[in-house]
Amino acid sequence: MTIRLYDTSARQIRDFTPLRPGCVSIYLCGATVQAAPHIGHIRSGLNFDIMRRWFEYRGLDVTFIRNVTDIDDKIIAKSAEQGRPWWAIGYENERAFTDGYQALGCLPPTYEPRATGHITEMVEMMRGLIERGHAYEADGNVYFAVTSFPEYLSLSNQELENLLQPSGEGETGKRDPRDFAMWKAAKPGEPSWETPWGRGRPGWHLECSAMAHKYLGSAFDIHGGGLDLIFPHHDNEIAQAKAYGDEFARYWVHNAWVTMSGEKMSKSLGNSVLVSEMVKRWRPIVLRYYLGTPHYRSMIEYSEEALREAESAFARIEGFVQRVVEKAGAVEPSAEVPPAFAEAMDDDLGVPQALAVVHTTVRQGNSALAADDKEAAVARLAEVRAMLGVLGLDPLDPHWAGEGDRGEDLHGVVDTLVRMVLDQREAARARKDWPTADAIRDQLNQSGLVIEDSPQGPRWSLGPR
């Protein structure tokens, strides 16, 4: 067994060899909590949740760090705009991210550190970089001197001569306009912390370098994040950490975006689709299917039609699961996934190819049901549950219990009413009044119900909307 991953720094798929046998260490750039999450934010969490689940299936012990950036320019700007404390805005949106991750079935991280809890580690890193000649203080700011680090921009593969470094307000005293801020001098009314160079607050890039070092040490396996973080964030993280003396990440894995009309989904474009609103309109397990099943390096173009297609595709899987359970009772997942599924997942987390194996197995299971081959149907369900478990999509998992009903408290009432109508349809069929029987079925279908005739009698379920 060899897992292979696309390494952004190598620009190719590489065999994955963990730093410590049997263990995997992952650092994922998590939420910047100036606003509630849209589905583009949560996609990253989903992609790395699937990666983590696959490593664990393969028997590896995973340490998964996902940070929270709870102080930065955008949060401070929101604080001024809303007239609320920066920490109140940050905490409110951190909870919204947590709710979003949980709603879509992401496993909790091993640790989820906040940037503001690690000022001491940041000061220590800056002190070391200044001593080594890679950083300097100016006007209360601390900057990284990019020309002191020959490997700078190795991840994004840019030319230093052509670099346009993003800069914020108040970044004065730079020796080179391409240098970036690790620490920003305090401004009136803004949050600040005491350092040897005066009061101020951390820069975004320094936060992650310090927290990765704190929780994963000087070297770890995988650093992850969205494609938009390659420059400047990840280039600057690498510069700080390696200049400090860390080996840092050995593999760099980046997920693609969710787009709308070809543009990256973002708050600044005003095209966000908030998770809190989406879960009111769509079952969370369907959202997970929609966001988690394309390949992590493929863009997802958001559309209602695509979501409806995902809902229909998952309904076919879920319908098979329900039919076998009705016929045979509880079926435990098999100990191993089918070889073709494992081969796809080992090859750079090939979820689309792995999902094709799921659907093939479902079709085989449905054929077994049609042939009244209970043993084969149960065997296929065991395989399907094992595969869905890896993808976090097993409808029988306790996490999703009660999720699929769109109103558990009304289910009994609806069932009674539908049964009354179905009894009328059965009476029409008994007297061979086919037009009336068909009309009743059509009316139920138009109401969003799917009616299936089975040897045990008619059965109803909620169909795709």
Q: CA distances (Å), 325 to each of 173, 318, 384, 392, in order?
A: 69, 11, 13, 19
The answer to whether the pTM exceeds 0.85 is yes
pLDDT surpassing 50 at residue 407: no
Residues near 328 by beta carbon (within 8 Å), at least 6 away in sequence: 374, 377, 378, 381
**Is the pLDDT assigned to residue 273 strictly greater than 70?**
yes
Predicted pLDDT at 408: 44
Q: Which residue, among 179, 210, 176, 173, has the nearest Cα to 193 in the 3D structure?
A: 210
Tokens of 102: 């949980």
Strands 135-138, 141-144: pairing is antiparallel
Instruction: Using the predicted structure, report yes or no on whether residue 415 has a pLDDT greater than 90.
Output: no
Q: How many CB atoms lie within 10 A of CB 183?
A: 23
Distance of alpha carbon 369 from alpha carbon 323, whole angstroms? 8
Using CA atoms, how far apart are residues 126 and 137, in angstroms rounded to an integer? 10
pLDDT digits (tens, 9 = 90+) for 31-44: 999 999 999 999 99
Q: Which residue in this structure is represented by tokens 């650093």? A: 223
pLDDT greater than 80 at residue 420: no
Contact yes or no for 265/258 (Cβ under 8 A) = yes
Identify the CA nearest to 171 among candidates 130, 193, 145, 143: 143
Q: What whole-number distance in Å separates Cα of residue 219 and Cα of residue 465?
A: 48
Asked if residue 331 lies in contact with residue 384, where contact means CB atoms within 8 angstroms, the answer is: no
Structure tokens at 131: 């001593």
Task: Label residue 308 by pLDDT band (50, 70, 90).
Answer: very high
> Which residues, including other chains, have CB under 8 Å from residue 198's CB and lie 6 or more apart?
140, 185, 186
Whether 3 contacts 54, CB under 8 Å: yes
Give yes or no for residue 340 having a pLDDT over 70: yes
Torsional class of 407: left (φ above 0), alpha (ψ -120 to 50), beta (otherwise): left
Q: Does 268 score more than 70 pLDDT?
A: no
Find all residues with CB under 8 Å of 168, minimum gap 6, and list them: 73, 181, 184
Please check whether residue 142 is in contact with residue 174, taking contact to mean a CB–CB distance below 8 angstroms. no
> With contact defined as beta carbons under 8 Å apart, do 448 and 465 qualify?
yes
**pLDDT tens across 350-370, in order?**
999 999 999 999 999 999 999
User: Would you state the pLDDT for residue 402?
Assistant: 66
Query: Environment class of residue 145 by beta-carbon count within 10 Å: exposed (0-12), middle (13-18) or buried (19+)?
Result: buried
The percentage of residues in the chain with a pLDDT greater than 90, rounded to a whole number, is: 80
Place 436 in a pLDDT band, splitting at 50, 70 and 90: confident
